[in-house]
């Protein structure tokens, strides 16, 4: 390229459907002066983590900009606070998968010629849609093709629709509702191995984004090509367009559960999930498999009393701001009893349902051992094994719960939400927050109508605050 050096804007994103799971990135290079889209790049990466995909997107965007003008100055815009903070030098990079990618990205342009800015996910739709197109292509066993991409058009349509809604709201005299502070960031930022300024493990985000439910298989991590053209790039696109007085002890306990922790003050309050297992059903004391594929039992009289007791306890604490429940009868009934006491509506979330135990539904452990010994041994040995008859594996449940977690963290950033769910989903929330292995599910006791809690911070960190609390039942 001849003449004076250009100024570019690079927007990049990455996602993983399962963490690790089938992943892809998207990147866009824009003319900083005109906003014209100069290059689009996207690639299906096989099975990698979300953070790796985000770094791959950054690297692809920087390399595409360097291909256009190696002397350019570049302003990077991403909705990954982890990548932005690490590449800006404010957060340390400790995870072994991130270090070489960050070092490679830092070498594309000389120091001082690249700046970084965090933006909300809503402002990064072009790159986000490219990443999803790449993942969708991977699910079909293909690589992303620029000739079939509609990412720029779709993003422009979304922006136009959003602008129209805002204008209509202002014309009618309404004040547009503000998004919760850090909503997109809370869902998108993830650090592993202490990268962010929190102690302890950080489990990377799992995202389904616009291609929810797609599950392509793939092995290995696809490398971004070094030098020359970026894999799957497109050049020369058109221009881008409670009632009652709380007891003092309960209030103190609630504040501990919902407090921000050790994060820096500008991070804001976490999204706190108070996890309530439903009350007993007739199957509970018999210790029978009762998932989402069985008879869908309602609460027993004991279970309804348990729900009343937990409702009273939560009303005294006074910290619950919203209630979300699994669609199954026992969780909706438990949630309804609590909601009536707190004066809150109940939102039903399909992702909170219990695991489907296939042909084991309604059977005791001993009965399964007698009828399906080989299947039971395989299930106990591997999270990928399904119950007899095509039930849901623990690995599949974890993918579903991680996606549900991200969705709810984004929707309820800074708020305390009661999630009424089941044994396996609640244990999975806790396992993922702790970064514990899958077999830890067999090492947790979770009582009927028990309370647990996890706080999710804007840097992607999670903190388990409470586990299997049952004092309200005594």
> Which candidate, 163, 149, 152, 145, places its Cα nearest to that of 126?
152
Contact 358, 379 (CB under 8 A): no
Q: How far is CA 294 from the centre of its chain?
A: 28
From the candidates 67, 85, 126, 278, which is the catalytic residue? 278
Per annotation, catalytic residue among 11, 43, 233, 354: 354
Q: DSSP string spanning 227-241?
A: SSSPTTEEESPPBP-
The residue assigned the tokens 């970064």 is: 435
Give 108-167 as a DSSP string. HS-TTSEEEEE--GGG-HHHHHHHHHHHHHHHTT----GGG--HHHHHHHHHHHHHHHHH
Q: 115: how many CB neighbours lie within 10 A of its CB?
A: 12
Distance CA 279, CA 305 (A): 8
126 is a catalytic site residue: no
Q: Mark whether 201 is an active-site residue.
A: no
Take residue 238 and report the two structure tokens written for it: 């058109």
- What is the chain's percent helix, strand, coil content, to nearest 5? 40, 20, 40
Task: Provide the pairing of β-strand 73-78 with 7-16.
Answer: parallel
> How far is the C-alpha of 305 from the C-alpha of 372, rounded, in Å?
36
Catalytic residue IDs: 278, 354
């Amino acid at each position: 390229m001849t003449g004076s050096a250009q100024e570019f804007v690079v927007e990049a994103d990455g996602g993983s459907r399962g963490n690790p799971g089938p992943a892809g990135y998207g990147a866009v290079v824009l003319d900083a002066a005109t906003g014209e889209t100069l290059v689009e790049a996207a690639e299906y990466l096989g099975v990698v983590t979300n953070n790796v995909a985000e770094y791959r997107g950054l690297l692809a965007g920087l390399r595409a900009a360097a291909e256009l003008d190696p002397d350019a100055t570049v302003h990077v815009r991403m909705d990954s606070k982890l990548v932005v903070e690490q590449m800006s030098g404010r957060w340390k990079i400790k995870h072994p998968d991130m270090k070489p990618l960050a070092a490679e990205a830092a070498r594309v342009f000389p120091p001082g010629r690249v700046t970084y800015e965090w933006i909300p996910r809503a402002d990064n739709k072009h790159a986000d849609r490219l990443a999803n197109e790449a993942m969708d292509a991977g699910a079909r066993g293909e690589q992303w093709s620029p000739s079939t991409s509609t990412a720029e058009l779709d993003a422009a349509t979304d922006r136009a629709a959003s602008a129209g809604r805002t204008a209509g709201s202002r014309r009618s005299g309404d004040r547009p509702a503000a998004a919760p502070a850090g909503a997109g960031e809370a869902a998108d930022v993830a650090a592993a191995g202490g990268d962010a300024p929190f102690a302890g493990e950080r489990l990377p985000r799992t995202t389904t984004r616009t291609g929810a439910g797609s599950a392509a298989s793939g092995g290995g991590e696809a490398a971004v090509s070094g030098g020359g053209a970026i894999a799957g790039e497109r050049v020369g696109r058109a221009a881008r367009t409670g009632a009652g007085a709380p007891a003092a002890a309960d209030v103190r306990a609630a504040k501990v559960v919902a407090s921000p922790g050790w994060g820096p003050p500008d991070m804001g309050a976490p999204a706190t999930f108070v996890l309530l297992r439903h009350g007993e059903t007739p199957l509970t004391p018999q210790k029978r498999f009762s998932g989402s594929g069985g008879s869908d039992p309602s609460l027993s009289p004991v279970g309804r009393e348990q729900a009343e007791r937990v409702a009273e306890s939560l009303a005294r604490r006074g910290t619950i701001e919203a209630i979300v429940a699994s669609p199954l009868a026992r969780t909706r009934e438990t949630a309804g009893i609590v909601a009536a006491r707190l004066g809150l509506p109940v939102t039903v979330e399909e992702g909170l349902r219990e695991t489907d135990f296939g042909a084991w539904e309604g059977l005791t452990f001993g009965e399964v051992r007698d009828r399906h010994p080989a299947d039971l041994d395989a299930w106990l040995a591997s999270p990928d094994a399904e119950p007899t008859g095509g039930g849901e594996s623990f690995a599949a449940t974890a993918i579903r719960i991680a996606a549900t977690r991200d969705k709810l963290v984004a929707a309820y950033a800074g708020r305390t939400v009661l999630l009424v769910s089941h044994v396996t989903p609640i244990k999975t929330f806790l396992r993922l927050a702790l970064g514990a292995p899958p077999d830890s599910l067999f090492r947790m006791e979770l009582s009927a109508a028990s309370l647990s809690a996890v706080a999710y911070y804007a840097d992607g960190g999670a903190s388990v605050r409470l586990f299997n609390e049952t004092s309200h039942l005594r």
